[in-house]
Amino acid sequence: MAADTPVDVDRLRNEIESTYQQVAERPDGSYHFHTGRRAMDHLGYPADLLDALPASAIDAFAGVANVFGPGLPEVGSRVVDVGSGAGTDTLIAARAVGTDGAAIGVDINEAMLERARAAAAATGMPHVGFRRGLAEELPVDDGWADLVISNGVLNLVPDKAAAYTEIHRALRPGGRLQVSDICVEAAVPDEAKQDVDLWTA
């Protein structure tokens, strides 16, 4: 168990993987969060960004805010998307950086990786790829990234401090972190912290 994590880490990872496996395979199912185009419209993603992507990349989107609200990645930059899911944000980043840049999505869920790779192939963009890995062990060389993005993922990571340290390692000096995540305003009781269902909710 990761330091200070009040739940069984293996069980938590299994529950998260199960939830997002379902989203990948049945994106129009009933979940406690919005998915797909409805979610992206709700979070304020501009329509022109979404209209340029294959529907398969959008259908299984799950995120908590528009990670590109502060701006898109610069042309020619290298981007890592931590917990890339269906690959939606990775593909938006890849389109923004162009072929002089690169975008890598990292996820642990094989069903999501398969969906993301298929969507990437449909776009024909050669400078985007998807790799299997954990947020705490990113499959990226030291200092490779100009920008690390993530959307609704770090709140699910058992050892958040390790994830942020790993993101720091993957960024070049002067590189930027731009992540969407949830925060709670109310104190969470200890029993709730031990409830895996709430972690995945």
Partner 1 sequence: MIEGAGFVDVEFGSPVDTFAGATGEDKARAFGTYGYVIQARKPSA
Binding footprint of partner 1 on the chain (CB under 8 A)? 30-34, 42-44, 64-67, 69-70, 152, 160-161, 164-165, 167-168, 171-186, 188, 192, 198, 201
* The token pair that represents 109 in the structure block: 């869920």
**Residue 3 buriedness (CB in 10 A; 0-12 / 13-18 / 19+):** exposed
Q: Kindly state the smallest distance separating residue 41's Cβ from partner 1, in Å.
A: 11
For partner 1, which is the closer residue by CB, 112 or 179?
Answer: 179
User: Could you give the CA distance from residue 181 to residue 152 in angstroms, rounded to a whole number?
Assistant: 5
Q: Kindly state the smallest distance separating residue 4's Cβ from partner 1, in Å.
A: 11
Q: Is 58 helix (H, G, I), strand (E, B) or coil?
A: helix
Q: Kindly state the smallest distance separating residue 30's Cβ from partner 1, in Å.
A: 7
Q: Kindly state the smallest distance separating residue 180's Cβ from partner 1, in Å.
A: 5
For partner 1, which is the closer residue by CB, 177 or 196?
Answer: 177
* The token pair that represents 35 in the structure block: 């998915």
For partner 1, which is the closer residue by CB, 20 or 113?
Answer: 20
Measured in degrees and rounded to the nearest 5, phi and psi for residue 193 equal -65, -25
Under 8 Å between Cβ of 84 and 60: no
* The token pair that represents 61 in the structure block: 């989107």
* The token pair that represents 122 in the structure block: 């449909």
Q: Kindly state the smallest distance separating residue 124's Cβ from partner 1, in Å.
A: 29
Under 8 Å between Cβ of 55 and 78: no
User: Could you give the CA distance from residue 54 to residue 8 in angstroms, rounded to a whole number?
Assistant: 37
For partner 1, which is the closer residue by CB, 11 or 168?
Answer: 168
User: Could you give the CA distance from residue 77 to residue 85 in angstroms, rounded to a whole number?
Assistant: 21
For partner 1, which is the closer residue by CB, 185 or 191?
Answer: 185
For partner 1, which is the closer residue by CB, 40 or 120?
Answer: 40
Q: Kindly state the smallest distance separating residue 154's Cβ from partner 1, in Å.
A: 9
**Type of residue numbered 123:** T
